[in-house]
Amino acid sequence: MVSISGEEIEEAIGWRHHLHQHPELGFEEHETSAFIATRLAQWGYKIHTGYGKTGIVGTLSKGSSQRAIGIRADIDALPIAEQSGVSHASRTPGKMHACGHDGHISMALAAARAASRSEFDGTVHFVFQPAEENEGGGRAMVEDGLFRDLPMDRIFGLHNWPALELGKLVARDDRMMAAFGTFEIKVTGRGSHGAMPHEGADPIVAASQIVSALQAIASRNVSPLESAVVSVTQIHGGDAWNVIPEEVVIKGTTRWFEETIGAKIKDRISVIANNVAASFECSASLDYLSRYPATINDPESARIVRQSAASLSEIEIVDAQPSMAAEDFAFMLREKPGCYFWLGAKKEGRNPGLHSSFFDFNDQLLPLGARMWLALIDSQLPKAG
């Protein structure tokens, strides 16, 4: 496997810090994409644009083999005000790389640079995907013809995982991340003076009972052997101390693995909201969106990841339970065999989790991730003879 020098790793860390200082939200990653494309072009990669608006794919072919793999890195930031206090903190108020995508980009770029001087046989596509955070950039790239225009045998994606010790790797044969949906329930009643509640129909009381009743979906409508989450995360209603409002809005998220469970959750939310609201002389309307499918690995692709990782002394293969968080790499796995895996990124001392305003990618992981990508390229595109 081609080596990566210490100077190259330091430069890649510099890229990561630059990207961290200049975060861009989903489908707005214009400067980030230009940063990526400039470097890939310098190393001889053919640049493809037009996938998922701001997505970038760098393609490099060597030898005569028709084999091809994809390596995906997400590139968007989050609408969070950074409080990490690091010297390379975000310079854009209200936006930050709170999930480590700046690190994912830099790991992939470091691997792409090294791969440009390696002797593999086949084609590697480095897929830099926009809008992973809630906006479905993976789906957009697929719909724009990513796999139609750039055939791949398999595709791989990784995520830094602060809950795991540095260098530990999890690549499950099946479930990795849950499917997710969002819901908004509008509860409408009849407003009244707070001192005369009997003259109205109180949507706040109705909404409170709906929130409580929704908790029974996972505990009473889904088998204990299956996984399901229904979480209310917002309630909005009223703007005066002494006025019962006309309307209350409840918002939240749902998670599941089996599609039948996802359908059951949606149905039960609707039934509960409407019937509970009616019992308080109110009405309810539901706006429900199924956002991402579950991230399910292809077993053979997961075996390939574990086998490649076993060739690296710095990485330890472990097992872990799947996460109820969601990931839009799922859309790519619906189209192509592949594997999504976690690389442990735990820091000594304070170790903020993903999406924390205090989070900053662990730079110690960068060389491990880059070498992991190179090991996969060596495994899947070996030079003949």
Please name the helix (run of DSSP H) or strand (run of DSSP E) that holds residue 259, with its range, or none: helix 259-279
Q: What is the mean pLDDT of the chain?
A: 97
Q: What is the pLDDT of residues 35-80, one digit of tens each?
A: 999 999 999 999 999 999 999 999 999 999 999 999 999 999 999 9
What whole-number percentage of the chain has pLDDT above 90?
A: 98
Q: What is the pLDDT of residues 176-203, one digit of tens each?
A: 999 999 999 999 999 999 999 999 999 9
d(CA 3, CA 8): 10
Query: According to the model, what pLDDT value does residue 88 have?
Result: 98
Over residues 344-364, mean pLDDT: 97
- Domain ranges within the chain, ordered by starting residue: 6-177+294-380, 179-290
Task: Provide the token pair at 139.
Answer: 């789906």
**Whose CA is closest to 21, among 72, 84, 74, 73?**
84
Task: Provide the token pair at 247.
Answer: 């309307």
d(CA 273, CA 286): 8
Could you tell me how many residues make up the chain? 385
**Per-residue pLDDT for 384 more than 90?**
no
Residue 158: pLDDT band with limits 50, 70, 90: very high
Query: According to the model, what pLDDT value does residue 385 have?
Result: 59
Over residues 97-117, mean pLDDT: 98
**Per-residue pLDDT for 116 more than 90?**
yes
pTM here is 0.95
What is residue 353's DSSP assignment? Answer: P
Query: According to the model, what pLDDT value does residue 214 have?
Result: 98
Over residues 289-310, mean pLDDT: 98
179-290: what fold? Alpha-Beta Plaits (3.30.70)
Residue 134: pLDDT band with limits 50, 70, 90: confident
Q: Evaluate whether 134 touches 292 at the Cβ level (below 8 Å).
A: no
Over residues 195-221, mean pLDDT: 97
Check for a shared fold between 6-177+294-380 and 179-290.
Answer: no
Query: According to the model, what pLDDT value does residue 51 have?
Result: 98
Amino acid letter at 57? V
Class of the 6-177+294-380 domain? alpha beta
